[in-house]
Chains A and B, each alone.
Chain A
Amino acid sequence: MPSYLLDHLSALEHEAVHILREMAAERERPALLFSGGKDSIVLLRLAEKAFRPARFPFPIVHVDTGHNFAEAIEYRDRRVKELGERLIVASVEESIRKGRVVEEKGPRASRNRLQTTALLDCIEEHQFDACIGGGRRDEERARAKERIFSHRDEFGQWDPKNQRPELWSLYNARLRKGEHFRVFPISNWTELDVWMYVKREQLELPSIYFSHTREVFLRDGMLYAAADFIQRLPNETLTKEVVRFRTVGDMSCTGAVRSTASTIDEVIAEVAASRVTERGATRADDRFTEAAMEDRKKEGYF
């Protein structure tokens, strides 16, 4: 008798496809949040699995801080064209121009927090009622408790103490006007699962995920990429290093790791042997306070 048991990657994939279809069936105006990072690249593949040969029942939304890696933007435009889907760009530059947010000043200025306003404005403008995101529960402690259909109130805020219980695979997708959901189809995936899936599906990634030589400087124990818009402190000097990025975010808060891993297999081997979480290693935005992620999520961050 054949064994009717899926391997773990397939089980995670089929769960994610179910979540995407459930969201499409129950919400009227969904959107897929795309960052150019590996998690959202996996989301695009999962959307193909869920909806092809039809088109996606949602547009792809990118919150562009204006401080993104050029490689990520180039990848975004190419991939969207290949898929033949619709792209909406929510621009932080524009939020600044309109006076919706004020740019931080100085060497530690980051547009990371400003993304929240651009995103919430975009959600309001297009009346999105469900935004698919690539968040994973293994990323951070506050995310470990987040629902797959995660409710946001009319201010876009998350209330961790008042979450709806999520039972079986029965998602409660009911909303009042002005509220929305963040939907996380890959909640149960780990960083290693994502890499193994990238390999299995032979997904192309932006080149910054792989080893390359880059001008960087050291700050707070992390390596940052040199860029025109990042001011350096007097003691921060540029050096050339062989690095790669484990996450892709705003350049002002995404650190590089020294690495010679230049293929998927080498990256998987490196991730498997890694002793530090990807956010702990490379994301300054999670390091401010003990509850940094929880605070930003409450405000409406991804």
Chain B
Amino acid sequence: MSSSNELLAMQSGAELLRFSTCGSVDDGKSTLIGRLLYDTKSIFEDQLQHVEDVSRRRGDEYTNLALLTDGLRAEREQGITIDVAYRYFATPRRKFIIADTPGHVQYTRNMVTGASTANLAIVLIDARQGVVEQTRRHSLITSLLRIPHLVFAINKMDLVAWDEAVYRRIENDIRGLAARLDVRDLCFIPMSALHGDNVVNRSDKTPWYAGPPLLAHLESVFIASDYNLIDVRFPVQWVVRPQSPEYHDYRGYAGQVAGGVLRTGDEVVVLPSGITSKITKIETFDGPVDEAFPPMSVVVHLDSDVDVSRGDMICRPNNRPIVGQDLEAMICWMTDKPLQPRAKYALKHTTRNTRAMITGLQYRMDVNTGHRTEGVNELGLNDIGRISLRTMTPICYDEYRRNRTTGSFILVDEATNATVGAGMLLSEQR
């Protein structure tokens, strides 16, 4: 936070960027986050004082910035991060939400959780180690979760004497890796989080690097097209029906736009019923708007008295999602009790709750190599695999790679109510 005047300028037009960080303490992840918070003056004195006190009491030789992010007693005692922590900082241009996820193998489920809402992911690499198994795992998960922007932070460059050849070799290795993955926007930054080189401020040790420091990249990366603005998708969330004489005939459909741009006057179709209608008004508490786009929460009014309820999807007649009960998906399994064929779960997709049965398990994917093992009988905690499932009622969906909102679902264990699976839909039918 540079100065209060600059911050006040933020009130108009600052954008929101959500990013996740992948890596372990060994890669300097906590140091990097600490550095971003510290250099943007987002760490407050009492927080820093607290971290310094605890570091001293524990006998750490340095101020352990990991203590800023490790919020739970168990984590501080064990010195590990066991869950996703959310951190916030702002510059005059953007407000940032960091999903800080642990990098250890057993915590794939947390990485997936943090990645699910991110516009951008930072994958940390120790310049001395180069591309390791963990780098492959993080790249694969960010690609699977379709995070639009990926930054490889080649950290600890000070420990390889700022050698450009080391950096280029790692960059080449990653480009080779990324070619086999589905990544839209790649960026590489040589840095030393410990010393602050190329994090907030440009380093004078990398004359051979023409790109921006990390913060400048985070502030300028183009995120306006991260949402799908092509395919109109409006999952009906809540029907607004005031029980008062004043609003006797009022009936509005509230929801958050999941794709495309809705406009007053648009011809629409309500799925799965297939009834067609027209948008007469798009309303907000602050008055009507001419158009609505993701992620706006609005109330849509239709011209005919059609029967629309929660779980229905409003879209354009000539651009419809897939409506079906037999689904194909990639799934990340998040609980000890394994996923098994024929098992039944509660399924939540957009605003629709239904039930689903696992009808097939095609393969398990090794998150370190991308290798697929067919003929497996179950998926365990932190496994990722491809499944077929059949839902009790049809759902209106898109391929996850086309729309992260209408292409995702969760599975819930009906006995324990635990969220057990994170699913990403594929378009291929079996």
Task: Give A contacts to B, CB under 8 Å.
Answer: 3-9, 11-12, 14-15, 17-18, 21-22, 24-26, 48-55, 137-138, 140-145, 160-161, 163-170, 172, 174-176, 187-188, 190, 192-193, 196, 199-200, 265, 268-270, 272-277, 280-281, 290-291, 294
Contacts and interface: CB of A to CB of B under 8 A. Distances in A.
A188 B97 contact: yes
Nearest to A24: B238
B408 A170 contact: yes
A273 B83 contact: no
A25 B310 contact: yes
Contacts of B54: 290
15 contacts: A14-B297, A18-B295, A49-B297, A52-B285, A54-B247, A161-B72, A163-B83, A165-B334, A165-B422, A169-B117, A172-B410, A265-B8, A269-B4, A273-B3, A276-B45
A142 B72 CA distance: 6
B71 A170 contact: no
B95 interface: yes
A168 B117 contact: yes
Contacts of B84: 145
A272 B256 contact: no
Given A8-B16, A50-B297, A144 B86 contact: yes
B237 A55 contact: no
Given A6-B295, A145-B71, A176-B417, A170 B409 contact: yes
A275 B408 contact: no
A137 B409 CA distance: 25
B15 A7 contact: yes
A281 B90 contact: no
A21 B237 contact: yes
Nearest to A287: B46
Contact of B351 (A25, A55, A160, A269): A25
B139 interface: no
B227 interface: yes
Contact of A170 (B241, B247, B410): B410
Interface in B33-61: 44-47, 50, 54
Interface in B228-246: 229, 237-238, 240-244, 246
Given A137-B88, A168-B116, A5 B15 contact: yes
Contacts of A3: 224
10 A-B pairs with least C-beta separation: A280-B46, A141-B71, A272-B4, A54-B242, A17-B297, A8-B16, A272-B7, A49-B285, A8-B95, A174-B417
Interface core residue of B74, B261, B297, B349 (most chain A CB under 10 Å):
B297
Contacts of B87: 144
B73 interface: yes
Contacts of A174: 346, 412, 417
B240 A168 contact: no
Interface in B85-111: 85-88, 90, 94-95, 97, 109-110
B14 A8 contact: yes
Contact of B237 (A9, A18, A54, A272): A18
Interface in B141-172: none
Interface string B404-430: 110011101000011100100000000
A52 to B, nearest CB: 6
B419 A190 contact: no
B254 interface: yes
A53 B242 contact: yes
B11 interface: yes
Contact of A165 (B15, B113, B240, B244): B113
A49 B117 CA distance: 23
Nearest to B70: A141
B44 A276 contact: yes
B284 interface: yes
B13 interface: yes
Contact of B72 (A160, A168, A172, A190): A160
A291 B73 contact: yes
Contacts of B90: 190, 192
A204 B146 CA distance: 42
Given A14-B295, A53-B247, A167 B419 contact: yes
A188 B97 CA distance: 8
A7 B10 CA distance: 9
A54 B250 CA distance: 10
Contacts of A170: 348-349, 408-410
A22 B410 contact: no
Given A137-B88, A275-B44, A192 B7 contact: yes
A193 B96 CA distance: 12
Given A48-B285, A54-B243, A166 B95 contact: no
A272 to B, nearest CB: 4
Contact of A4 (B11, B70, B85, B229): B229
B78 to A, nearest CB: 11
Contact of A54 (B3, B113, B241, B405): B241
B194 interface: no
Interface string B250-265: 1000111000010000
A167 B86 contact: no
Contacts of B404: 168
Contacts of B353: 26
Contacts of B46: 276-277, 280-281
Contacts of A9: 11
Contacts of B310: 25
B8 A18 contact: no
B293 interface: yes
A137 B286 CA distance: 27
Contacts of B246: 53
B223 interface: yes
Given A18-B297, A142-B72, A277 B16 contact: no
A175 B246 CA distance: 36
A6 B83 CA distance: 29
B74 A54 contact: no
Contacts of B241: 54
B240 A161 contact: no
A163 B116 CA distance: 17
Contacts of B16: 6-8, 11-12
